[in-house]
Structure formats: structure tokens, C-alpha cells
Amino acid sequence: MCLDYERGDLSRPSVDSPGGGQSLHCTACEAALQSPGRDTVSFLLLDRLTIPLVGCAEHLEAFRSLCSLATDGSAELLEYRPAGGVRCPGCRHAPREPEQAIVPVGSGGLAILACESHQSDILDRFRTGLEVRRHLTSSLDESLTRSAIK
Ligand SMILES: [Zn+2]
Ligand SMILES: [Zn+2]
């Protein structure tokens, strides 16, 4: 699976990650990922899902807005455990080892601390959101170009 995308800045060969490890260019994400815990976990409420995420505020918001493009409902970000907690027992007991599932978002990266099935659910929406945005951006570009030619 290929999650590289966006502005091509992720496709630059990175010299500072020997061994093909993760290389985040966002120190805030990196800091959050290094000390996952109650304080650094946020929750994405999307459709009927509650997905625990770790990352910096900026990139969490970027992730949320992309996912919201892929749903008719709303995507909401909470910095605290929502009332009722995480409903899926699999997600509740997902391994707290964020380095296992880092999704590149812009120059940063988020960890999705969910069970496998919800992890792929949310990644599906994220990818759909990317497609939608790419489409929106390109049609916007087209109309801009067209009006510029007139
Ligand atoms: Zn970040
Ligand atoms: Zn789950």
C-alpha cells in the first residue's frame, strides 16, 4: 500500500533515515509519537467510529479535514476521551505502539491506534478524502486557467 502523496515533498529521497525508518519533518508529531499517552491521544469521531489518533494538532486537523471530505456526516476531533469512551473493544485494546502504523500527513505523521478493521476503515476514508481533494483542486485549477484565458 502506498500512502505517499501531497506536494511531492514526501517523495524526496530522505538522507536522514538510514534503514528506511520513518522520517517525520514535523517535530511536534514526532514528540507526540514518542510519548503516546493520555495527554497526546486525540479522538476522531467519524460516522459511528471513534478512532484514537496520536500526532500534533496541525496534522490531526489536516487528517480530520481530509476524512471529512469522504463522509456525508461530520468528522470531529476531540482532545479528550469522548463520553462513553471507545466503543470497539478491539480499538480500546489496540497496541499503544504508534510506530507500527504511521500515516504520513503533509510533513508530519499520525499514528492510528485502532484495531485492524477500523484502521483500514479510516485509511479508506483518508484515501478517499485525498482523491476528492485532488479532484477539487484540479477542477478549481481548470476553471482558473479557463477564466485567465478569456
Ligand atoms: Zn505535525
Ligand atoms: Zn475497532
Cα 27 to averaged position of ligand 1 atoms, centre (Å): 7
Q: Which pLDDT belongs to residue 98?
A: 52
Cα 132 to averaged position of ligand 2 atoms, centre (Å): 25
Cα 149 to averaged position of ligand 1 atoms, centre (Å): 39
Domain boundaries, the chain: 24-149
Q: Which pLDDT belongs to residue 64?
A: 97
Kindly identify the ligand whose nearest atom is closest to the C-alpha of 120. Answer: 2
Cα 62 to averaged position of ligand 1 atoms, centre (Å): 9
The pLDDT tens digits for 128-140 are 999 999 998 888 7
Q: Which pLDDT belongs to residue 100?
A: 59
Cβ contacts of residue 96 below 8 Å, gap of 6+? 36, 113
Residue type, position 64, single letter: R
Q: Rounded to whole angstroms, how far apart are CA atoms 10 and 2?
A: 12
The whole-number mean pLDDT for each consecutive block of 10 residues of the chain, a chain of 150 residues, reads 46 41 80 78 92 94 96 91 88 70 89 92 95 87 68
Q: Which pLDDT belongs to residue 83?
A: 85
